[in-house]
Structure 1
Amino acid sequence: MLIAHLSDPHLRPPGVLYQGLVDSNAMFAAALDHLAALDPQPDLVLLTGDLVDEGTAEEYAHARQMLARLTAPLLAIPGNHDEREAFRATFADHPHLPATGSLHFAVGDQGPVRIVALDVTVPGEHHGDFDWAAEKWLEATLTAEPTRPTLVMMHQPPILSGIACIDAYNCRGGARLAALLTRHPQVERVLCGHVHRFMQTRFGGTLLLTVPSTTTAIALRLAPDAEPASFVEPPALLLHHWRPEAGLVTHHVPIGRFPGPYDFF
């Protein structure tokens, strides 16, 4: 099973630039082009939040138009730049989304790997929160299939990255989430967005990964008093490849066209 993982496209209305500088729509179109050229094709596409930038109806309408190009099923969760009810309405045809409340869901009919989506967004805020209701839901959901290989997807990572400007807006309640995950060894990865960078760390007895944005990268400035900044670095996506004999292998895949292929390796 091949699972493509995108995040944080920050789509704008047609003709409008992200932050007035960057064509996030064109960069997301390039990401979709890259997916379309993959061989074999992904069986599933995950999107871990910040689909749009301001949560407007016009942005979501344009997002659905762009996403119509996907041939594989899409599983998406909101980020802090999304508006939860507008997001729910945009994907009203996705039967796994709940009709009310947080947009948690679990999907197990797309292949051997189960996808558990955790909506940790706090409406009107930029940080996330793994609250008691999310904890109760996740415990019950993971308990229901204790031996099925599982990916947990969420927007804000429940860790500190070392980048002070983004760590102020991480997911709170990370220690409780880590304790819960240690009781569920079937969780192969925790997949996050939000940071606009690739990171990997041990968390809750498994691996936690963040995927780069398809648009800009938050500057890797690790000094505690560093000024916040972003760069237009090469965007990337992740490919999670599940095989029974090998388990899950995750690949970091730059988006774009590059010199090659050459006849050496």
Structure 2
Amino acid sequence: MLIAQLSDPHVRPRGELYQGVVDSNAQFAAAIAQVNALDPRPDLVLLSGDLVDHGHADEYAMLGRLLADLTVPVRAIPGNHDERDAFRRAFAGQRWLPANGPVDYVSGDLGPVRIVALDVTLPGLHHGVVSEEGAAWLDGVLSAEPARPTIVMMHQPPFDTGIPYMDPYSCREGHRLAEVLARHPQVERLLCGHVHRVMQLRFGGTTLCTAPSTTTAIALQLRADARPASHVEPPGMLLHHWRQGTGLITHYVPIGTFPGPYPFA
């Protein structure tokens, strides 16, 4: 099973730039085109939050037009820049979408890997939290299929990255999540967005990966007094390839056209 993860596109209304600098819509369109051109074709695309920039209806309308070109099934969660009700309207009619409350759901109909979406966002705030209710829900759904390989997807990562202007907006109460995951070794990956960078670490007995943004990269500055900054680096995505006997392999893939292919390896 091949799963593409796109994150943090920050779609804007038609003709408007992200932060007045970057054409996030064109970059997301390029990401979609690259996913469509992959061979083999992915079985699924995961969108790990911050689909739009301000949660406005015209942004979600633009998101819908861009996603109409995607030829692969989608599963999505909101991020801190999304607005939960507008997000729900944008994906109305999707079987995976819960009718109300947090966008928590299970999707297991597209291949051997089960997808569990955990919505840790807090409406009106930029940090997230693993609530007691959310942790109990996750424990229950993981207990239902203990032998099936599983990916858990959320937006804000539940750890401090060391980037001082990002860590106040991480997911809090991560210990609740770690305790649940430690009881469920079938969880192959915990996938996050939010930080606009690729990071990985051991968490709760599994591997946590954060995805790059299709728009901009938040600057990797580890000094405690560093000031917020971003760069227009090459956008990217993650490809998660599950094979029987091997498990889940995660690849970083830059989005764009580059020299090659050349006849050597």
The two structures have a TM-score, normalised by structure 2, of 0.99
1:164 counterpart = 2:164: yes
Kindly report which structure 2 residues correspond to 1:179-194, keeping only aligned pairs within 5 A, or say none. 179-194=179-194
Kindly report which structure 2 residues correspond to 1:130-149, keeping only aligned pairs within 5 A, or say none. 130-149=130-149
Counterpart CA distance in 2 for 1:264 and 1:245 is: 29
The aligned residue for residue 248 of structure 1 is 248
Counterpart CA distance in 1 for 2:141 and 2:48 is: 19
Kindly report which structure 2 residues correspond to 1:79-98, keeping only aligned pairs within 5 A, or say none. 79-98=79-98
Superposition deviation, residue 215 in structure 1: 0.2
Superposition deviation, residue 245 in structure 1: 2.2
C-alpha contact 2:155 2:193 (8 A) present in aligned 1:
yes
Counterpart CA distance in 1 for 2:263 and 2:211 is: 30
Q: Deviations for 1:13-62, whole angstroms, at most 9, x for unmatched residues? A: 00000011110001111111111211111000000000000101110011
Counterpart CA distance in 2 for 1:135 and 1:179 is: 9
The aligned residue for residue 37 of structure 1 is 37
The two structures have a TM-score, normalised by structure 1, of 0.99
Counterpart CA distance in 1 for 2:111 and 2:178 is: 26
- Is the partner of 1:5 in helix, strand or coil? strand
Q: Deviations for 1:104-143, whole angstroms, at most 9, x for unmatched residues? A: 0001111000000000000000000101110111011111
- Is the partner of 2:121 in helix, strand or coil? coil
Amino acid across the alignment from 1:236: G
1:154 counterpart = 2:160: no
Counterpart CA distance in 2 for 1:100 and 1:38 is: 35
- Is the partner of 1:141 in helix, strand or coil? helix
Structure 1 gap segments, 5+ residues each? none
Counterpart CA distance in 2 for 1:22 and 1:69 is: 21
Aligned length: 265
Kindly report which structure 2 residues correspond to 1:98-113, keeping only aligned pairs within 5 A, or say none. 98-113=98-113
Amino acid across the alignment from 1:20: G
- Is the partner of 2:65 in helix, strand or coil? helix
The aligned residue for residue 127 of structure 2 is 127
Percent of residue pairs identical: 66
Counterpart CA distance in 1 for 2:23 and 2:53 is: 12
Superposition deviation, residue 71 in structure 1: 1.2
Q: Deviations for 1:68-108, whole angstroms, at most 9, x for unmatched residues? A: 11111100000000000000111111111111111100011
* RMSD of aligned Cα (Å): 0.6
- Is the partner of 2:248 in helix, strand or coil? strand
Question: Post-superposition, which runs of at least 4 consecutive aligned residues in structure 1 deviate over 6 A?
Answer: none
Kindly report which structure 2 residues correspond to 1:172-251, keeping only aligned pairs within 5 A, or say none. 172-251=172-251
Structure 2 gap segments, 5+ residues each? none
The aligned residue for residue 4 of structure 1 is 4
Counterpart CA distance in 2 for 1:5 and 1:162 is: 24
Amino acid across the alignment from 2:221: R
C-alpha contact 2:153 2:192 (8 A) present in aligned 1:
yes
Kindly report which structure 2 residues correspond to 1:46-85, keeping only aligned pairs within 5 A, or say none. 46-85=46-85
Counterpart CA distance in 1 for 2:222 and 2:184 is: 32
Amino acid across the alignment from 1:113: V
Counterpart CA distance in 1 for 2:67 and 2:105 is: 20
